[in-house]
Amino acid sequence: MKKVINSNEAPGAIGPYSQAIEAGGMVFVSGQLPIDAKTGEMPDGIENQTRQSLENMKAILAAAGLTMDNVVKTTVFLQDMSLFAGMNGVYATFFSGDFPARCAFAVKQLPKDALVEIECIAVR
């Protein structure tokens, strides 16, 4: 059985998908673009965009009753690998203790020309 997770503190889906799905004690958070849910705008720069993507993820996890400490795996999609260091510096500040497993990829293009998109899997 699956449960849809939604948060008004994160931007709504821009396609036929859910912000997150819970199944079997795991929460699968869809890729979060760096869109501010209040303004609909994206900040400039990789650091600010990474922060916004992770704040969106944090809000969705909170709607599921979880925190960033519950995250076991992330996937980071970057517009270009030259952005990795800037993303990584901000990313590190969102986790305490053991970091989740992670992979990062450069992709040809992200929706809305974002510099970064981040998804995760969390467990209860």
Give pLDDT tens digits for 75-107: 999 999 999 999 999 999 999 889 999 999 999
Residue 18: is its pLDDT beyond 90? yes
Domain segments of the chain as ranges? 2-12+19-123
Per the structure block, which two tokens stand in for 102? Answer: 């992670």
Instruction: For residues 51-58, give the mean pLDDT.
Output: 98
pLDDT averaged over every residue in the chain: 97
Confidence class of residue 13 from pLDDT cuts 50, 70 and 90?
A: confident
Report DSSP letters for 40-89, one per residue: ----SSHHHHHHHHHHHHHHHHHHTT--GGGEEEEEEEES-GGGHHHHHH
Per residue in 25-50, pLDDT (tens digit) is 999 999 999 999 999 999 999 999 99
Q: 47 is written with which tokens?
A: 């650091």
Q: Return the pLDDT at 14.
A: 81
2-12+19-123: what CATH class? alpha beta
